[in-house]
Structure 1
Amino acid sequence: MLDDVIKTGCAQLKNAQLDEKKSPNQLNKKVPYLANLNEDPMLSYVILHYFNTDEITIGSRNSTICLYGLNILERHATIRSIDSYRYELIAAEPGSKIKVNGYNLNGSTQLRHKDRILFGANHVYVYLNPSNEKDASPDLPSIITWEFAQKEIAKAKGYSLGNNLTIEQEEIQEKILSLLPLLSEVNAISEELNKYRTFEIVLMPISAWEGTAIKGSRVMIKMRNLLNQNIWYWDDAKFINRSFIIKEHYQQFLDGEEEILYIAKDDDPFWEPVEDILLGTANAFLQSLAYSLDFADEICIVDYKGLEQGRLSINLCPCSPSGKVVNDEQFVEQPEQLFNKPYSFKITMRFIEINDERHNKGLRIRYKVFNELEFTETNIICRNTVCANVKQTRIITIPSVDEDWLRFFQDGCIIFQIFAVQEESKPNTGLFKMTTRVMNKEKDNNKTYSSFI
């Protein structure tokens, strides 16, 4: 794979140098051109493709500009002159992967000075038109960099963290920018090898993933099986390790070793055994317990995006060590009145209801209280239904309330994690009539193929 990248880069540089030799005076003519952008600033603006004709073709074969690699079609794009100063970019095929200023190109667009263009999975260019520099947006930097283009793609995908970032947010942004090109490459290989897998970056709240009240987010990769909609979450280290194996397999495929398409699933880097998926969390705040008051409510179950996935009915109430509910006369006006006294309370999960019937294979709920090391967990519930009675009760007894417990009552919460059971179900055979590329295209077009599932 690395050899191919080096060969491809050398071939593009040679072609660009040949273009320059054909028109030695073109800089004086202020001819528009494409300049490459690279993660290494020293390698940016090295490959220059000047517009010497009214129509420039871009593709992997018999083109004015030849590009090679993942998601580059034989006829990929056309750049056509509108008049002496303006050009338009046209997708040559419906399946051409092109992004302009971070967004997918559908059809055609007029190019403006300093437009950023991504061809295929990893060919990033900036369009420069010295004769029409005033056409550029005034908000753009004086020099367009690879990092600027990647941030733009990240923003278009919904990964923008804004300005004035904290140190943690800067680290997250840096990690996202480093993963995006690799993610694009792995998705392209999945399409080439027809693996029916798609990958995307998600920002997972640490509190949701760990089940404890910890601030911050974690960058994770969500892998989806397009055939049965099963989902897995990988950390970035696991994804990077898998990507190395995926690229090795793809190189073997390019070398003519087609048996790589039929390896055992245990040897396939795209395969993963099914596991229960984190559907969302329900956070129960405990201020009422600080005043020895009962609390009962239906709490929303929200996923990592903050979208509601269902609701969980719970009850928190002060009680005796044996579980007998205390009456309202035990109410305290100030939480400090509980200090250095024994205290017991009862946690009851009454029922759960989820919104998406695709998760009716079963649910399980788990939670930890305060500084517990082990989770309290339910058995599998909600089989073949979207709602069920939980009826699980647990008594927590505190020998002596200290400042940490008071702080937990006043500011903390119990995070109920809801996991959905996934199964290795066989998809409808009609889905196999569609390729990974077609499925991804229909998903991008907001179409659905659920009728095949």
Structure 2
Amino acid sequence: MFGLTNVRILPRHASFINSDNKVIVKPFGKAKVIVNGVAIVMNAKLQHLDRLILGSNSGYLYIGFPAERGAEDISKFDYDFFQSELAAAEGFSVDKLGASHNKNGKPDPSVLAVFHDYIKLMPLVAEANQMSDEFKKNLKFELKVKNLALTDSRGYDLQKEIMVKVINKITYEVWIWSKSKFINRKFLMEELYQRFLDGETSQNIDRESDPFWDPVEIIHLGSAHIWLQSLAYCMKLEEQTELLSCEGVEEAILVINVTPCSSSGRPFGEEDIVIDPLELLGRKIIFQIHILQCLGVRWLKEATHRGIQIG
């Protein structure tokens, strides 16, 4: 019998049963046990070189009985291997980042840097969620990649970076923390948690000292791009386009009209259409943008008391 200490490693977390040259791992209750990147809720038979994670980030490599062992190189099973496997099980990989490859067939270094940031923050986010549960803060922390599927107006990929989305599970308020802000807050959470383990109550902490608290802030939901080629001919543009979040998720559908007009605001008609866009060189072009409808706003579906601003 032995004990382990870590955030959310419970006094009775899991049992390991050795019987007939078979080892079975059995989680107790809702204890978090992950085998080869996948969380288990029932008994699981361990195979040689299986990877286990107990709690938030305590990783172990299972070495089987002598008869099962070979000449394997176990040096590859390092911390990054465990976290990469866990990320892959959650559907996150270098390829998902849209990795462009160089002449050697290797992913772009900037994309690899984002991927490694992601897998290094995974256990920290898991611990933050567990401490939030301990303190009954009702906050959920989620790792996100900013600009995962967005491009600029010329169609070039925007620089990707890691961020942490913070959601209040009761009020549905949302905050976006940068990587550096999250890491700083995580250190403060650990200090608070250690004081909690030492017997100090967390009820007397004021807002300014609470690492889980932030004032309500404005969140950028997404952007919509439309092609303006028809304006080069002084033609009215009628477009229905997606409003995409920085992760490439559809947040809403916009119905937009863009109408060329005179300096007095008179909309151009068919008689104002030009055949050759070169005729407009050196001339001032004025147009009106009308957002006719904003449909299926996911932000409002999740919580109807929220508001949005389009601009």
Q: TM-score, normalised by structure 1?
A: 0.60
Alignment-derived partner of residue 361 in structure 1: 306
CA pair 123-300 structure 1, distance change in 2 beyond 3 A: same
Note closer, same or farther for the CA distance 1:207–1:302 as it changes in structure 2 (3 Å cut). closer
Question: Partner of 1:311 in structure 2?
Answer: 253
1:156 to 56, 80, 89: 89
Closer/same/farther in 2, CA of residues 119 and 361 from structure 1, 3 Å limit: closer
Q: Judging changes above 3 Å, is the alpha-carbon distance between structure 1 residues 212 and 361 closer, same or farther for their aligned structure 2 residues?
A: farther
Q: Partner of 1:243 in structure 2?
A: 186
Deviation at 1:194, TM superposition (A): 2.0
Match of 1:171 in 2: 113
Cα distance in 1 for partners of 2:248, 2:69 equals 43
Instruction: Please tell me whether residue 185 in structure 1 is matched to residue 135 in structure 2.
Output: no
Deviation at 1:154, TM superposition (A): 1.6
- Change in 2 beyond 3 A, CA 1:141/1:257: closer
Higher helix share: 1
Return the match for 1:328 from 270, 278, 288. 270
Structure 2 SS opposite 1:118: strand
User: Which of 49, 62, 65 pairs up with 1:127?
Assistant: 62
Matches within 5 A, 1:47-446: 64-84=1-21, 86-91=22-27, 93-129=28-64, 130-133=66-69, 143-162=76-95, 164-205=106-147, 215-258=158-201, 260-333=202-275, 335-353=277-295, 354-355=297-298, 356-357=300-301, 358-366=303-311
Quote the Cα distance in structure 1 between the aligned partners of 2:306 and 2:153. Answer: 22
Kindly provide the CA deviation profile for residues 15-67 of structure 1, in whole angstroms up to 9, marking residues without a partner as x. xxxxxxxxxxxxxxxxxxxxxxxxxxxxxxxxxxxxxxxxxxxxxxxxx2321
Deviation at 1:209, TM superposition (A): 11
SS at match of 1:79: strand
After superposition, give the CA deviation of every residue in 1:374-396 in whole Å (9 maximum; x if it has no partner). xxxxxxxxxxxxxxxxxxxxxxx
Which gives a bigger RCO, structure 1 or 2 (Cα 8 Å, sep 6+)? 1
Query: Tell me, what secondary structure is at the counterpart of 2:254?
Result: strand
AA matched with 2:165:
K
Aligned equivalents of 1:89, 1:217: Cα separation in 2? 39
Give 1 or 2: higher strand fraction: 1
Counterpart residue identity of residue 249, structure 2: L
CA RMSD of aligned residues (A): 2.7
Deviation at 1:306, TM superposition (A): 3.3
Deviation of 1:223 (Å): 0.8
Distance 1:273 1:173, change over 3 A: same
Distance 1:365 1:209 in 2: 19
Runs of 5+ unmatched residues, structure 2: 100-105
Q: TM-score, normalised by structure 2?
A: 0.85
Structure 1's unaligned 5+ residue stretches are 1-63, 367-453
Instruction: Work out the CA distance in 1 between the residues paired with 2:309 and 2:152.
Output: 16
Q: Which amino acid aligns with 2:61?
A: V
**Bigger shift: 185-194 or 205-214?**
205-214
User: Contact 2:149–2:248 (CA<8 Å) still a contact in 1?
Assistant: no
Cα distance in 1, alignment partners of residues 107 and 204 from structure 2? 46
Give the distance between the partners of 1:267 and 1:212, measured in 2 at CA. 44
Structure 1 position 118, deviation (Å): 0.5
* C-alpha displacement of 1:149: 0.7
Aligned length: 296
